[in-house]
Amino acid sequence: MSEQHILFVSVQGHGHVYPSLGVVSELVGRGHRVTYLTTPLFDDEVTAAGAEVAHYRSVFDDVHVPDMVAMDDAEAQLHLIYLRENVAILEAAEAACDDDVPDLVVYDVFPFVAGRLLATRWRRPAVRLSPIFAANEHYSIFEALWQSAGFRHPADVPAFRPAMVELLAAYGLSTPIREFWDAVEDLNIVFIPKSFQIAGETFDERFVFVGPSISPQRLERKWRPPDPERRIALVSLGNQFNEHPEFFRACAEAFAGTPWHLVMAIGGFLDPAALGPMPPNVEVHPWVSFMDVLPQARVFITHGTTGAVMEALYWGCPLVVVPHFASEAAPSANRVVDMQLGYRLGPDRIDPATIYDTARRVADDQNVAQRVLALQAEIRAAGGPRLAADAIESYLTNVQSPVTAGTAR
């Protein structure tokens, strides 16, 4: 098809930006122009994928989410900061594209408020990207995440409702909050295999399950094991809820003096010095690309968010999940255990002996290995970036109409 201008809208999060970059590369390779809105943190990756970068400043730069979770009014505060993040994205996208209106808005599920309102403002079609479980009329990943944190639907939070109603009204909408929140786009690209989707049998042709979308740039490995004879284990608690030095110390002690090499990504908030001296077979990084380590890893010990799980399964690596560190990891971590793709370690089992025994057992569990390899095969056959780009181009062909560019509210 002829060149189209496509706006991708995402948040400041590796698990949200990275899954979309393979699709971006594929669309650019087909001759389309892509503008990608995120924060400067991802400039190199987005540029390498062939897109033009547009920036917003994340409100999360000024807050510490674990501190907010501990507040008495955490429910209201977290819903409100989520809305503020969407407003920051809205304002930046309008500034970047009001004079160069895209033909299509492709938005990540997290900033869906911004994505849907931009499509409304410009009268353009929209596509939702889901690097986590998709949501339809039968299953809501938002509801699952709220429940795991003990929160209500934002529509039921008095401190949130006025701000959301005011934002919708600014875009000419009087839609009830719950109806706006639960609306389903006509095309949804889901970066997991369908068998992993909760209530997968209820998802119709509006949902295209393409599996993890890995950009070619992320397949270029920059890390090599120092001793190829040792088994490799990877440990990470993600970017937000990783200030648990006692957990990382326990992992280091667990693998000390064993025939394993341990790689730990401890995040940017935790000072490596807080962990103390490390055994010679343990290396510590604030951040390391999972795609560098997982191809050689025999086990991944992680909180269990969907992005981490999908990258492990892409490489056929079994998991040990510790979701109690971050409630947002609960749905996908539970799915790992339900599908026998790994083991769970509860909060009462975080000691060196149990960590090592669990990692060793899951690495040698043939039932787990067979299930992981079966899902890896499904992922590799799911279609990835090419299928996603096919679906987007087909959708654009079907919905495009001669709308006047630059239309604003």
Query: pLDDT digits over 160-208, tens only?
Result: 999 999 999 999 999 999 999 999 999 999 999 999 999 999 999 999 9
pLDDT band per the 50, 70, 90 thresholds, residue 401? low
> Edge to edge, what strands does the sheet with 231-236 contain?
282-285, 260-265, 231-236, 297-302, 319-321, 342-344
CB atoms within 10 A of CB 351: 13
pLDDT at 244: 86
Q: Given CA atoms 14, 16, 22, 24 in this order, what sign does their dihedral have?
A: negative
**Cα 62 from Cα 84, distance rounded (Å):** 12
pLDDT higher than 90, residue 383: yes
Q: Which residue has the higher pLDDT, 338 or 144?
A: 338
Query: Percent of the chain at pLDDT above 90?
Result: 77
Q: Is the pLDDT of residue 406 over 50?
A: no
The confidence band for 121, taking pLDDT boundaries of 50, 70 and 90, is very high
Residue 402 has pLDDT above 90, yes or no: no
Q: Mean pLDDT, to the nearest integer, of 296-317? A: 95
Helix or strand holding residue 320 (H, E) = strand 319-321
Residue 221 has pLDDT above 70, yes or no: yes
Per the DSSP assignment, residues forming a β-bridge with 6 are 34, 104
At residue 302, does pLDDT exceed 60? yes
234-279 per-position pLDDT tens digit: 999 987 666 789 999 999 999 999 999 999 999 877 788 888 999 9
Model pLDDT, residue 242 = 65
Is 116's pLDDT higher than 50? yes
Q: Measure Cα distances from 18 to 34, 43, 316 in Å.
A: 15, 12, 19
pLDDT digits (tens, 9 = 90+) for 325-371: 877 889 999 999 999 999 999 999 999 999 999 999 999 999 999 99
How far is C-alpha 361 from the geometric centre of its chain's CA atoms? 28
Q: Are strands 297-302 and 231-236 parallel, antiparallel or unpaired?
A: parallel
The residue type of 110 is F
Q: 134 or 215: whose pLDDT is higher?
A: 134
Phi, psi of 60, deg, nearest 5 = -75, -10
Residue 131 DSSP one-character state: S
* pTM for the model: 0.91
What is the enclosing helix (H) or strand (E) of 353? helix 352-364
Q: Which helix (H) or strand (E) holds 235?
A: strand 231-236
Six token digits for residue 376:
């890896």
- How much is the average pLDDT of 210-233? 85
Domains detected in the chain: 5-211+382-399 (3.40.50.2000), 221-380 (3.40.50.2000)
The rounded mean pLDDT for the chain is 92
Query: pLDDT digits over 73-97, tens only?
Result: 888 888 999 999 999 999 999 999 9
248: CB partners within 8 A, 6+ apart: 235, 264, 266, 270, 275, 284
pLDDT given at position 241: 60
Helix 352-364 × helix 245-255 angle, to 10°: 60
Provide the pLDDT for residue 379.
96
Query: pLDDT band at residue 405, thresholds of 50, 70 and 90?
Result: very low
Which residue, 329, 324, 288, is CA-closest to 307?
329
The predicted pLDDT at position 13 comes to: 87
Tell me which range, 138-147, 307-316, 321-330, is most confidently predicted by mean pLDDT: 307-316
Helix%, strand%, coil% for the chain, nearest 5: 50, 15, 35
Q: Give the closest residue to 75 by CA, choosing from 166, 167, 153.
A: 153
DSSP assignment of 193-213, as one string?
A: -GGGSTTGGG--TTEEE----
Mean pLDDT of 18-29: 95
